[in-house]
């Protein structure tokens, strides 16, 4: 099961939550993989939690991912259904998650995800705007990192810190981790994309990792969470829905399938080598 996607960018307001919740809804609609999805909210502010549960204010959820991480309840007991989409479940955040951020424990979520993965076709993890322990937990637990970033030149150089962290976690704790891609978001529709933006991103991540689709600013994308709906349910005909739909169908799912195929080929090649070595040992013993 390698469909665990961490949505990460330590810059605040870069479109992480918007992308995470619309990706979840899009995968339910457009992916061939079993149509169930779990969203794990690792941001103590709980914006994804509010939207999916249909509560903009009021008490935070009584049971949250924090209770699961501190092992007060089982992973299954932390999960709740959503008003957002009946096929999307949620492991909600609440503000007490902040106290986990003060610890050094960055491999707890991985164990939770392993326990829950057999029940879901996709697991999407939304993260807070920093590279602290909560984001690290997401990177240790995920197979793929998705990086939404605003198109402003200023937001881009800081992403080097993120690639350094991804490399470190890949080296030490999670060899499966791969970048699925960088999604440009929040673009002002009236101005052309600055030429240096794609170039700089290509230098940091590799040219092939930058998705071609750009999610422009769209009022419907901004309005949909307050109606507790995805952009597809809120207004499937609007520009924002068509941008997210095209990105998911034509780029995200294709890239995911390609990376999965490569992974399978690598595993098969490694297994063949192992078999060859084993046969060699038998032959030399004869």
Ligand X SMILES: Nc1ncnc2c1ncn2[C@@H]1O[C@H](COP(=O)(O)OP(=O)(O)OP(=O)(O)O)[C@@H](O)[C@H]1O
Residues that bind ligand X (CB under 6 A): 12-18, 43, 47, 129, 185-186, 215, 217-218, 221-222
Partner from Mg ion, ligand X, none contacting 12, C-beta within 5 to 8 A by type: ligand X
Partner from ligand X, Mg ion, none contacting 132, C-beta within 5 to 8 A by type: none
- Going by the DSSP 8-state scheme, the letter that residue 193 receives in this structure is P
Minimum distance from residue 270 beta carbon to ligand X (Å): 37
Which positions lie near Mg ion, rule CB under 5 A?
A: 16-17, 47
Q: Is 183 helix (H, G, I), strand (E, B) or coil?
A: strand
Indicate if the alpha-carbon torsion angle 134, 139, 145, 151 is positive or negative.
positive
Smaller CB distance to Mg ion: residue 117 or 155? Answer: 155
Q: How far apart are CA 161 and CA 234, in angstroms?
A: 36
Minimum distance from residue 11 beta carbon to Mg ion (Å): 11
Provide CB contacts within 8 A for 33, sequence distance 6+: 3, 27, 121, 122
Minimum distance from residue 49 beta carbon to Mg ion (Å): 10
Smaller CB distance to Mg ion: residue 47 or 166? Answer: 47
Main-chain phi, psi angles of 63, to 5 degrees: -110, 130
Output the residue with the shortest Cβ distance to Mg ion. 17
Minimum distance from residue 225 beta carbon to Mg ion (Å): 10
Closest CA to 178 of 259, 265, 268, 122: 259
């Amino acid at each position: 099961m390698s469909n665990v996607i961490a949505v990460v960018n330590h810059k605040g307001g870069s479109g992480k939550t918007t992308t995470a919740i619309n990706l979840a809804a899009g995968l339910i609609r457009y992916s061939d993989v079993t149509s169930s999805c779990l969203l794990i909210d690792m941001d103590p502010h709980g914006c994804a939690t509010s939207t999916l549960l249909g509560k903009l204010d009021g008490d935070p959820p009584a049971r949250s991912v924090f209770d699961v991480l501190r092992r007060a309840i089982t992973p299954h007991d932390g999960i709740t259904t959503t008003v957002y989409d009946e096929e999307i479940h949620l492991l909600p955040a609440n503000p007490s998650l902040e106290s986990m951020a003060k610890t050094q424990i960055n491999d707890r979520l991985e164990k939770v995800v392993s326990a829950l993965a057999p029940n879901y076709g996709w697991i999407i993890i939304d993260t807070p705007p920093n590279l602290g322990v909560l984001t690290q937990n997401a990177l240790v637990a995920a197979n793929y990192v998705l990086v939404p970033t605003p198109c402003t030149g200023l937001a881009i150089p800081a992403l080097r810190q993120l690639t350094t962290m991804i490399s470190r976690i890949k080296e030490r704790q999670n060899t499966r981790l791969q970048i699925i891609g960088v999604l440009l978001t929040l673009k002002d529709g009236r101005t052309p994309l600055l030429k240096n933006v794609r170039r700089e991103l290509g230098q940091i991540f590799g040219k092939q990792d930058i998705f071609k689709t750009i999610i422009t600013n769209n009022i419907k994308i901004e309005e949909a969470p307050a109606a507790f709906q995805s952009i597809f349910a809120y207004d499937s005909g609007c520009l924002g829905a068509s941008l997210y739909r095209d990105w998911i169908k034509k780029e995200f799912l294709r890239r995911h399938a390609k990376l999965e195929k490569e992974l399978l080929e690598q595993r098969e090649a490694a297994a063949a080598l192992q078999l060859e070595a084993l046969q060699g040992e038998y032959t030399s013993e004869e």
